[in-house]
Amino acid sequence: MILLVTDLDHTLVGDDQATAAFNSWVKSQGEQVKLVYATGRSLTSAQGLQREKTLLEPDYWAVSVGTEIYHQGELDLTWAAQLDQGWDRARVVQITTQFPQLKLQLATEQRPWKVSFTLVPGDADWIMGELTAQFQSSRLAAQLIYSSDRDLDILPKQGHKGHAVTYLQNLRQVPAEQTVVCGDSGNDLSMFQTSARGIVVGNAQLELRQWVQTADQHRHYLAKQSHAWGILEGLAYFYPSHFPPQNSPFQAPKQVGGLNRSSLYRFSN
């Protein structure tokens, strides 16, 4: 079984043909693949995107940057209880009000274990420095994640996408080499810091690409192709036996790392 964890925006979603090809492959795998969507969006927002882009129903939703896990419509309360430790949302919000540069995101994106702002890159470093210092002196178990040169998420220390992946991996007892994460931006980085395998899609932001390039290359695959084409490319690299060699649109790359395979998955459906 493969535990397949993917980000949505600019990873699984971004090229409709690629998303359709991904859906066909996942369906062809039946029970061999357990699908997890790990997204910065709230569940409401993510399910809106699911309808709009006809995404498959996942086995698990890890939404609001991994701070909420849902399975068959139910919030995972064990996970929630872990995040509650040392988390004081009201105090976090109070500290942030000192900085007018922090603009609150939409109300739907403010969640029990997530406070989210937009922040321009020029102010990001010093404000994050100040916030970190104040969280430390107030003994708040909070962490900051800045992504896409725009979004600042404040989450409980234990609650990011990476910890959510490890939690699900343990819950389902899936070995690290059978767990694969896919992403494109800074809020995905924590998933690449787990023991799982990782696929960085070709259109990924520099913030993720640079980190992965300096980290362990054996566990991570930098796809040449963008969006879900990149996911399929990486899956074929890690799990070639799941891609029948002949007469199938899903062929494994002939020469991994070579130049001659960029159009391998250019098909629809």
Binding site for Mg ion (CB under 5 A): 7, 9-10, 184-185
Region binding ligand GLC by CB under 6 A among candidate stretches 74-82, 87-95, 147-155, 227-235: 147-155
Minimum Å gap between C-beta 210 and ligand GLC is: 18
Q: Mapping DSSP to helix (H, G, I), strand (E, B) and coil, where does residue 160 land? A: coil
Q: How far apart are CA 155 and CA 175, in angstroms?
A: 27
Rounded to 5°, angle at Cα 215 from 209 and 218: 105
Q: Which among 43, 69, 65, 47 has a CA at the least distance from the CA of 56? A: 47
Minimum Å gap between C-beta 40 and ligand GLC is: 2
Minimum Å gap between C-beta 8 and Mg ion is: 7
Q: Which of 105, 166, 193, 205 binds ligand GLC (CB under 6 A)?
A: 105
Residue 109 is a binding residue for ligand GLC (CB under 6 A): yes
Rounded to 5°, angle at Cα 179 from 54 and 47: 25
Residue 151 is a binding residue for ligand GLC (CB under 6 A): yes
Region binding ligand GLC by CB under 6 A among candidate stretches 37-45, 165-173, 212-220, 227-235: 37-45
Q: How far apart are CA 112 and CA 68, in angstroms?
A: 9
Residue with tokens 């629809």: 268
Minimum Å gap between C-beta 183 and ligand GLC is: 11
Minimum Å gap between C-beta 53 and ligand GLC is: 15
Buried b (16+ CB within 10 A) or exposed e, 147-169: bbbebbbbbbebbbbbbbbbbbb
Interface with ligand GLC (CB under 6 A): 40-41, 45, 65, 105, 109, 116, 147, 151, 153, 187
